Amino acid sequence: MPTLRLALCQVNPTVGDLAGNAALVRAWARRAADAGAQLVAFPEMVLTGYPVEDLVFRRSFVAASRAALDRLAADLAADGLGELPVLVGYLDADGPPQVSGDAEPGRGARNAAALLHRGGIVATYFKHHLPNYGVFDEDRYFVPGRELTVVRVGGVDVALTICEDLWQAGGPFAAARQAGVGLVLNINGSPYELNKDDIRLPLVRRRAAEAGATIAYVNMIGGQDELVFEGDSMIVTADGELLTRAPQFVEHLLVHDVDLPPARESAGPDEALADDMRVVRAAVDAVPPPAGGPAATGGIIAPVADEAEVWQALVLGLRDYVDKNRFPSVVLGLSGGIDSAVVAALAVDALGPDRVVGVSLPSQHSSEHSREDAAELAKRTGLDYRVEPIQPMVDTFLANMSLSGVSVENLQARVRGVILMALSNQEGHLVLTTGNKSELAVGYSTLYGDSVGGFNPVKDVWKTLVWRLAKWRNADAARRGETPPIPENSIGKPPSAELSPGQLDSDTLPDYDVLDPILIGYVDGDLGRDGLVASGHDPAIVDRVLRMVDTAEYKRRQSAPGTKISMKAFGRDRRLPITNRWREDG
Amino acid sequence: MPTLRLALCQVNPTVGDLAGNAALVRAWARRAADAGAQLVAFPEMVLTGYPVEDLVFRRSFVAASRAALDRLAADLAADGLGELPVLVGYLDADGPPQVSGDAEPGRGARNAAALLHRGGIVATYFKHHLPNYGVFDEDRYFVPGRELTVVRVGGVDVALTICEDLWQAGGPFAAARQAGVGLVLNINGSPYELNKDDIRLPLVRRRAAEAGATIAYVNMIGGQDELVFEGDSMIVTADGELLTRAPQFVEHLLVHDVDLPPARESAGPDEALADDMRVVRAAVDAVPPPAGGPAATGGIIAPVADEAEVWQALVLGLRDYVDKNRFPSVVLGLSGGIDSAVVAALAVDALGPDRVVGVSLPSQHSSEHSREDAAELAKRTGLDYRVEPIQPMVDTFLANMSLSGVSVENLQARVRGVILMALSNQEGHLVLTTGNKSELAVGYSTLYGDSVGGFNPVKDVWKTLVWRLAKWRNADAARRGETPPIPENSIGKPPSAELSPGQLDSDTLPDYDVLDPILIGYVDGDLGRDGLVASGHDPAIVDRVLRMVDTAEYKRRQSAPGTKISMKAFGRDRRLPITNRWREDG
C-alpha cells in the first residue's frame, strides 16, 4: 500500500492581495517541502482570497487571477519546488456564460483549483456544488463544474474537490467512488459558526464513506470583513478514522503520512457518473518520501470549549479587520458597562494595549461607579485611557434647540459619537462599536449615537453570551496567573444606558435571561409567534419582544436606503469586500 | 376568432400587508368587472408584495400567504365576482426542499400565481426562470416550477407565466408554443431602471414571436424600499403589434378587447417540452362579453423623456417609502446647493409642502448667497423653513478638544447631522440625505455627517444628472405656467461643501463633466483601468478617480460590519424588506 506524505497549509490569505497571497503560498510550500511533503494543498481561492464577491464581475480581476496563477507556477519551479505537486484555489472564467437574463450579459466565472507542477498547471477542477444560502451567493457568481478531476500522484488516484462539494450528498464524492479514487482533497473557505466544528467531523466521515476514500480537508483561517475562518483542517480515512486535526484560528502546517490504496489498473468508468459528471484524468510523478526518517504525524488537536472558541474567533476577526485594512489603532467609548469592557478586552487581546484607546465620556447621568469601572478596566488592560466629558456640548445643543424626553437621551449618545469620530479623524483610529446582538435586535441603541463606528466585534453575540465570555476570560486569566482584565463590578451590576436619572435596561426590556431565548428562537431560528409560545415562552412577553424586533428592523435599516435607478447603486446590492487589497493600478 | 376582454391591473401593493393587498385586488377586480372584463390579471406576488426577501424563510408568513389566497378567492365570490377569472401572484411553499447544504435545511418556497374562479383556485403556476443577479436573489428563495399551466378561458388556451420567464429564452414561452396556446399572461414585479422601457417592448415582441401567441404583460407600480416599479403594462400580438400600453409610475386599469385564436381541439403535446417542462391543463367558463357595447381599447401611452421618467421614479420612490413606513413628514438640511434643492423639490412633489421641513444650518463658512438660495427655495416651494446656526455647538466641541484640518470640516457636517436627528426624534420627521452618486462614489462626504438620514432620493443619480433634472423640472414648471421650484443660482454656481474658507468641489475633484463618465464606466460598466483609458479618458485622471472610488468603498462600508458567529447576524446577510407591514401578532 503506497504511503503519501500530505501537507495541508492552513494559511490566512487576504482578498485582492494577489501578490501577497502568492508569496504566502511560496513560503508555505517551502515549509511543506522541508517537511518532506509529497503533495501539498492550500485553501479555496487562496490566491485571490475568499469571498471575492462582486470582484468576480471585473474582467480585469479575473485576468489578474489567472496571470498570478501562471506566475506562481513558474515561481515555485524557480524556487526549486517544481517537483512538488501543489494544489491552490483561484478564480477562473473559462466557463460558458451564466444565464442571468437578457439585461445582464452572463459571465462564466469559476471557483477553481489548479494543481501546479514543474512550472505549469497539470490539472484544474471547477467547484460543482455552489452554496447560495446564508453568507454565500455562489449561484450569482460562478458556473458549476461538471467534471471530476482525478490525478494520479505517486501511484494513488486523487480527486480534487472544493468546499461545498463536501456539504451536499451526490456529485463529486459519489463520482469519486465510481471513479475508484483512493484520496479526495477538499480545499475550503468555510466560515466559522458557533459549534460548526461539532458538525464538520461527522460530515467529513459521512463523505469519506460515500467516496470510499480518505479525505484530506484543508480550511483557511483569518478574518475577512464579517467572516472568520477557523481552520480545523483534518484527514479522515474511508472507514471514518480521524488521523490528524489542526488547531482552530491559527495558521498551521499539518503534515501526515497517509497509507492509501494503489490506483487500480482498470479504474472505474469515466462517463455518466453521479450528477452527470465525467472524469478527467491526469498524472504527476511524486517525489519520493524522505528515506529512513520517522513517519510524519500531525497529531490531533481537541476542540476547545465554546467560550474559548468564540473569544478566539472574535479576537481574530477584529485583528484581521484592523490589520488587513491597515488601521494603526482603535478607539472606543468606555462606559463602565459589560459590553464596552468585553470589547476593550478583545481589542487588547487582538492588538495589544498600545493600539487601543479607551475614552470615558461621562455626562451628568454617569454614576461614580461607571467612571471608576472604566478607569479600573484601563488600569488592568494597560490601554490608552482618556476622559472627555460630554456635558458642555450637550448643554450647548440644549440651549439652542427645544428638546425633551428621548431626544435628549439620544443627543447624549450622538455627542459621544461625534467625539469618537473626531478622535478617529484626528488621530487615525478605527472606531469600535460595542452594541451586543440583543440590543441590536430590539433596537435598544441610538442611531448615529452608540451605533457609530467602523467595526463591532460583538454584533453577533447575545447579551447573555457577553457575560459568559467575560467570566470565561477572567477565569482563564486567573488560571494562567494573570490579572483578569474585566472588573468584577462591570460583570455584576445591572445594565444601564445612563442616559436619564436612575435608568436601567430592565425599565424597558425583559430580563436578558428571558429576552435572549425568545430572540434566539425568532431571529436565529426563524420561529414564528406560535412556535415561540409552543416552546413555553409567555405569550405576552413574546408579543412585546416581537414587536420590538420588527420595529427595530427598520429603525436599523434607516441609515442605508435610497431609490435605485440602475443595477449598480451603492448599497447592499453592490457587494464588494471591504478588506480588499486589489487595485486596478497595482 | 374569439375575442377576450382582458383587464390588466397595474396596482401598488405593499410588502407584508396581506390584508391591504387583498383589499386592493378586490377593489380593482370590481373595476375590471364593471368595465366588462372576461379575464383579469394582477402583478407578481401582489398578495404579499414584492420582493419579500427573507420573509420567505418564515413558515408563518408562507402559511399566512396561502390562507390569504383562499380567503381572497372566497371574498371575490362573495363580492359577486366569482364568475370572473382573476390571476394573482402569491407566495407558496409546496415544492421539494431547496438544496442548500446540510447546515441549512431547505424549504420549497414558490413564486406562484393562482387563477381564482367561483370561490376557489382553479389553476396554479410556479415561476420557472428565477433571476439571481442585480437586485434579485431568487435562487436563494424559490424552487423553480417545471410545469406550464394552460387554462382554457372562453375557448382560448391561455398560458400563465411570471416575470423572469419572459427575460430568458426557452422555458415557458417555448413550451407555450409547443402546447399551442393563443395567449400568454405574464405577471411582473419588474423594477425600474433607466431606459428599461426601451428594452421591454422589443423583448415582449421577441417572446411573443417565440411563443407564437399574444402576450399580456402586467407590472406593478410603486416604491418598495430601494426599488421603484414602473408599470408599463402592455399587450403585444404574436406578430409584434403593440395593441395597448399603460402609463408609467401610476396605478392604471388597462382594458382591451383582444382577438385570439380558438383553442385547437387537438392541442400540442403535454410532455417533454422545452426545458423538460410538462403542461398541466385546466378550464374555466368565461363570462360573455358585454353585448352590443363598443370594443374596449386601452390606448397606447408613449414613453416620456428620460428626465421626466427619472423624476417620476424618484418622486414615487420617496412618497412610497415615507407613506408605506407611515412617517408623517420629512426633514432635510438646505445648503443652498443643487443637491439639497433637488431633493427638496422632489419631496414637495412627493408629499406636498406641508410635509417637508427644510433647515438652513449655517456656519461661519456659509456664504451669504447660500443662505439666500436656501430661503428662496423655501419661498418658491412653500415648505416649512427653519434656520439653526451650528456655530455655537461647533465652537463648544473645538473648545473642549484639539482638532484641526479635515477633523474640523467633518465636525461641522456631524453637528448638522445631530441637529437633524434631534428634530427627527422630537417631531417625528424622517431625515432625508442628499448626497448624489458621484459624491458617494468618490467618498466626498462625511460619515455620520451629511450621510446621516433615513432615505436618500438621489443616491443613484450622478451629479451631472442632478443638474439635468433640476433644469428639466424648472422648464417643465415654466411650460405649465408655474413657478420653477429651484433657484437658478443653485443650478448655476460652482459646487462647494463650504466646510472651510473659499472651499470648492473642484479643489478636490475633477470637473463633474470629466468625473462622471469615468465613474459611469467604472461603477456601472465594471470597466477596468485599461478599458477606461481605451475609451479615451486621461490615464492620470483615471488612476486618481479609481483610487478615490476604491478608498471610498470601504470608507462607506465602515458603518456596518462586525464579526459574525452565526448564520443570522444582523447586517447585509439578513435581508428583510424595510417597508414591511407584516406582523406575527397581526
DSSP string, A26-93: HHHHHHHHHTT-SEEE--TTTTT-S--GGGGG-HHHHHHHHHHHHHHHHHHHHTT-TTS-EEEEEEE-
Q: Give whole-number Cα distances, A153 to A74, A235, A418, A487, B377, in Å.
A: 20, 17, 61, 57, 76
Annotated catalytic residue within B9, B53, B138, B163 = B163
Q: B15 vs chain A: nearest CA distance in angstroms?
A: 13
* Number of residues that make up chain B: 586
Q: By mean pLDDT, which of A280-289, A415-424, B109-118, B387-396 is the weakest?
A: A280-289
Q: Tens digits of per-residue pLDDT, B266-317?
A: 766 788 888 889 999 999 988 887 777 788 899 999 878 899 999 999 999 9
A444 part of a folded domain: yes
Answer with the residue of higher pLDDT: B41 or B60. Answer: B41
Partner-chain contact B528 A59, CB within 8 Å: yes
- Tell me the chain B residues in contact with residue A164 when contact means C-beta distances shorter than 8 Å: 101
Write out chain A residues lying below 8 Å of B17, CB-based. none
Same domain, A270 and A178: yes
* CATH number of the domain bearing residue A154: 3.60.110.10
CA B129 – CA B144 distance, rounded (Å): 7
Joined grid coordinates for residue B353: 409642502
Mean pLDDT for chain A? 91
Do A224 and A317 reside in the same domain of the chain? no
What is the pLDDT, as a whole number, of residue B575?
72
Query: For all residues of chain B together, what is the average pLDDT?
Result: 91
Residue A278 burial (C-beta neighbours within 10 Å; 0-12, 13-18, 19+) = middle
Q: How far apart are CA A559 and CA A561, in angstroms?
A: 7
Residue A39 has pLDDT above 80, yes or no: yes
Judging contacts by C-beta atoms under 8 Å, the chain B residues touching residue A226 are: 561-564, 569, 571, 573
Q: What DSSP character marks residue B263?
A: P
Q: For B120-132, how does the pLDDT look when each residue is reduced to its tens digit (9 = 90+)?
A: 999 999 999 999 9
- Which of A200, A565, A575 should one mutate to test binding to chain B, selecting the residue with the greatest count of B CBs within 10 A? A565
State which residue of chain B sits closest to A222, comparing Cα positions. Answer: B563
Q: Is the pLDDT of residue A249 over 60?
A: yes
| B44 assigned to active site | yes
Pairing of strands B183-188, B214-219: parallel
The answer to whether the Cβ–Cβ distance between A164 and B388 falls below 8 Å is no
Residue B342's nearest CA partner among B444, B222, B473 is: B473
| Per-residue pLDDT band at A106 (split at 50, 70, 90) | very low
Give me the half-sphere count of Cα atoms (radius 13 Å) on the Cβ side of residue B233.
33
Contact B62, B583 (CB under 8 A): no
- Round to whole Å and give the CA distance between A143 and A149: 16
**Residue A440 is nearest to which of B453, B557, B570, comparing CB atoms?**
B570
Å between A419 CA and nearest CA of chain B = 8
Residue with cell 458642555: A392
A315-324, B142-151, B496-505: least confidently modelled range: B496-505
B417-435 b/e with 16+ CB inside 10 Å = b?
bbbbbbbbbbeebbbbbbb
**CB of B435 within 8 A of CB of B458?**
yes
Positions of A marked catalytic = 44, 127, 163
- What integer pLDDT is reported at residue B104 of this predicted model? 38
> Residue B247: its pLDDT value, please?
96
By residue count, chain A amounts to 586
Task: Select the residue of B101, B131, B455 nearest A561 (Cβ to Cβ).
Answer: B455
Radius of gyration of chain B (CA): 26
Show Cβ contacts of residue A374 under 8 Å, excluding neighbours closer than 6 positions.
A334, A335, A336, A340, A358, A360, A385
Of A365-369, B288-292, B352-356, minimum mean pLDDT range: B288-292
Residue B81 C-alpha cell reads as: 365576482
DSSP letters along B492-547, please? HSPP---SSTT--GGGTS--HHHHHHHHIIIIIS---HHHHHHTT--HHHHHHHHH
Q: Which residue in the block uniquely carries the three cell numbers 431626544? A: A407
User: Does residue B583 lie in a domain region?
Assistant: no
Give the closest of A403, A426, A459 to B562, CB-based. Answer: A459
Residues A194, A306 contacting (CB under 8 angstroms):
yes
Q: Are residues B480 and B341 in the same domain?
A: yes
Tell me if A16 is assigned to a ligand binding site: no
pLDDT band of B208, cuts 50, 70, 90: very high
Nearest CB among B60, B134, B583 relative to A573 is that of B134
Mark which of A456, A472, A502 sits at the end of a domain: A502
**Residues B259 and B311 reside in one and the same domain:** no
B376 is catalytic: no
Residue B270 lies in a domain: yes
Residue B102 is predicted with a pLDDT of 34
Report the C-alpha gap between A194 and B566 in whole angstroms. Answer: 6
- How far is residue B223's CA from residue A354's CA, in Å, rounded to a whole number? 49
Residue B486 Cα distances to A375, A474, B329, B346, B348, angstroms: 54, 62, 21, 11, 12
pLDDT of B585 over the 70 cut: no
CB A421 within 8 A of CB A394: no
DSSP strand E in A102-226: where? 110-117, 120-126, 147-153, 156-162, 183-188, 214-219, 221-224
Q: Do B570 and A437 touch (CB under 8 A)?
A: yes
When mean pLDDT is compared across A365-374, B282-291, B325-334, B480-489, the lowest value belongs to B282-291
Q: For residue A306, which amino acid is it?
A: D
**CA quadruple A320, A321, A323, A325: dihedral, nearest 10:** 140
Asked if the structure places residue A496 within a domain, the reply is yes
Task: Give the confidence band of B107 by pLDDT, cuts at 50, 70, 90.
Answer: low
**Nearest neighbour of A448 by CB, restricted to B417, B562, B575:** B417
Mean pLDDT in residue range A319-342: 95
Contact A437 B526 (CB under 8 A): no
Q: What angle do CA B280, B282, B283 make, to 5 degrees?
A: 155
Q: Give every CB contact of residue B575 below 8 A, 6+ residues apart in sequence.
A: A572, B53, B54, B137
- The percent of residues above 90 in pLDDT, for chain A, comes to 75
- Tell whether A451 is in a known binding site: no
Mutate to test the interface with A, among B565, B572, B579, B585 (most CBs of A within 10 A): B565
Q: How many CB pairs under 8 A join A and B?
A: 369
* Cβ–Cβ gap A199/B103 under 8 Å: yes
Q: Is A335 annotated as a binding residue?
A: yes
| pLDDT at A233 > cutoff 50 | yes
Does residue A39 lie in a domain region?
Answer: yes
Q: Are residues B272 and B419 located together in one domain of the fold? A: no
Rounded to whole angstroms, how far apart are CA atoms B416 and B362? 9
Q: Rounded CA gap, A561 and B225, in Å? A: 7
A564·B400 Cβ contact <8 A: no
At residue B430, the pLDDT reads 93
Instruction: Tell me how far apart the alpha carbons of residues A281 and A158 are, in angstroms, rounded to a whole number.
Output: 10
Q: Which one of B58, B318, B563 has the shortest CB-CB distance to A460? A: B563
pLDDT of res. A483: 96
How close does chain B come to A121, measured CA to CA in Å? 27
Q: Residue A102 — very low, low, confident or very high, per pLDDT cuts 50/70/90?
A: very low
- Tell whether A397 and A493 lie within a shared domain: yes
Q: Is A555 labeled as ligand-binding?
A: yes
- pLDDT tens sequence across B225-277: 889 999 999 999 999 999 999 999 999 999 999 999 999 877 667 888 888 89
Of A393, A563, A576, the CB nearest to B460: A563
Q: Are residues A177 and A220 in the same domain?
A: yes
Q: Which amino acid is at A336?
A: G
In order of A561, B89, B258, B457, the CA distances from B218 in angstroms are 27, 11, 15, 26
Number of independent structural domains in chain B: 2
CA of A544: which chain B residue's CA is closest?
Answer: B585
H-state helical runs in A91-131 = none
Do the beta carbons of residue A187 and residue A163 sit within 8 Å? yes
Same domain, A446 and A389: yes
Find which of B66, B419, B564 to mutate to test the A interface (most A CBs within 10 Å of its CB). Answer: B564
For β-strands B147-153 and B278-284, DSSP reports them as parallel
Count the helix, strand and coil residues of chain A and give each as a percent rounded to the nearest 5.
40, 20, 40
- pTM for the structure as a whole: 0.94
Contact between chains at B456 and A393 (C-beta distance less than 8 A): no
Residue carrying C-alpha cell 449655517: B362
Query: How would you classify the pairing of strands A227-230 and A221-224?
Result: antiparallel
Domain stop point among A502, A518, A535: A502
Shortest CA gap A266–chain B (Å): 34
How many CA atoms lie less than 13 Å away from B577 in the CB half-sphere? 26
Q: Which residues of B are annotated as part of the binding site for ATP? A: 333-340, 434
Q: Is residue A571 part of a domain?
A: no
Note the pLDDT of residue A58.
Answer: 86
Residue B222 gets the label, from left (phi > 0), alpha (psi -120 to 50) or beta, of left
* Structural domain contains residue B115: yes
A205: in domain? yes
Whether A567 sits inside 8 A of B134 (CB atoms) is yes
Of B36, B81, B42, B90, which Cα lies nearest the Cα of B216?
A: B42
C-alpha cell at B584: 406575527
Q: Does residue B43 surpass a pLDDT of 80?
A: yes
Residue A576 C-alpha cell reads as: 464588494
CB B274 within 8 A of CB B178: yes
H or E element: which one contains A228?
A: strand A227-230
A554 is in an annotated binding site: no
Split at pLDDT 50, 70, 90, the class of B480 is: very high
Identify the pLDDT of residue A576.
72
What's the confidence (pLDDT) of residue B406?
93
Q: Kind and range of the H or E element at B331?
A: strand B330-333
Amino acid at B536: G
Mutate to test the interface with B, among A142, A563, A570 (most CBs of B within 10 A): A563
B201 and B90 co-located in one domain:
yes
Contact B269, B169 (CB under 8 A): no
Which 3-state string (H, E, C) describes B453-502? CCEECCCCCCHHHHHHHHHHHHHHHHHCCCCCCCCHHHHHCCCCCCCCCC
Checking if the pLDDT of A104 tops 80, the result is: no
Considering only CB atoms, which chain B residues are within 8 Å of A524?
A: 566-568
Pick from A318, A452, A578: which is nearest to B563 by CB? A318
Model pLDDT, residue B105: 40
Distance from the Cα of B47 to chain A's closest Cα (Å) equals: 20
- Per-residue model confidence (pLDDT) at position A415: 98
pLDDT of residue B103: 33
Q: For position B401, which CATH number holds?
A: 3.40.50.620
| Structural domain of B48 | 3-95+108-283
Q: Is the pLDDT of residue B363 over 90?
A: yes
Are A448 and B418 an interchain contact pair (Cβ–Cβ within 8 Å)? yes
Percent of chain A with pLDDT over 70: 94
Last residue of a domain, one of B478, B502, B526: B502
A65 has binding-site annotation: no
Grid cell listed for B316? 414615487
| pLDDT of A9 over the 70 cut | yes
Inter-chain CB proximity A459 and B140 less than 8 Å: no
Q: Using one digit for the tens of pLDDT, what is the confidence trace for A507-557?
A: 989 999 999 999 999 988 888 899 999 999 999 999 999 989 887 776 655
Residue B100 banded pLDDT, cuts 50, 70, 90: very low
Higher per-residue confidence, B90 vs A265 = B90
For strand A330-333 and strand A430-431, is the pairing parallel, antiparallel, or unpaired? Answer: parallel
Read off the pLDDT band of A573 (50, 70, 90): low
Residue A121 marked as a ligand binder: no
Calpha distance B152→B285 (Å, rounded): 8
Same domain, A322 and A226: no
Q: Are residues B171 and B225 in the same domain?
A: yes
Q: C-alpha angle A280/A286/A291, rounded to 5°?
A: 155
> Concatenated DSSP letters for A436-496?
-HHHHHHT-S-TTTTT-SSBBTTTT--HHHHHHHHHHHHHHHHHTT---SS-HHHHHSPP-
Q: What is the DSSP string of B106-167?
A: ----EEEEEEEETTEEEEEEE--S---STT--HHHH-PPP-EEEEEEETTEEEEEEEGGGGT
Residues of chain B positioned with their CB less than 8 A from the CB of A580: 550, 553-554
* CB of B444 closer than 8 Å to CB of B505: yes
Q: Which residues of A touch B564 (CB under 8 A)?
A: 135, 191, 193, 226-228, 459-460
Burial readout B499-517 (b: 16 or more C-beta within 10 A, e: otherwise):
beeeeebeeebbebeebbb
Put simply, the answer to whether A584 touches B529 (Cβ < 8 Å) is yes
Phi, psi of A117 (to 5 degrees): -160, 135
State how far the alpha carbon of A115 is from the alpha carbons of A2, A122, A150, A182, B409, in Å: 20, 6, 11, 17, 53
Q: Are residues A235 and A316 in the same domain?
A: no
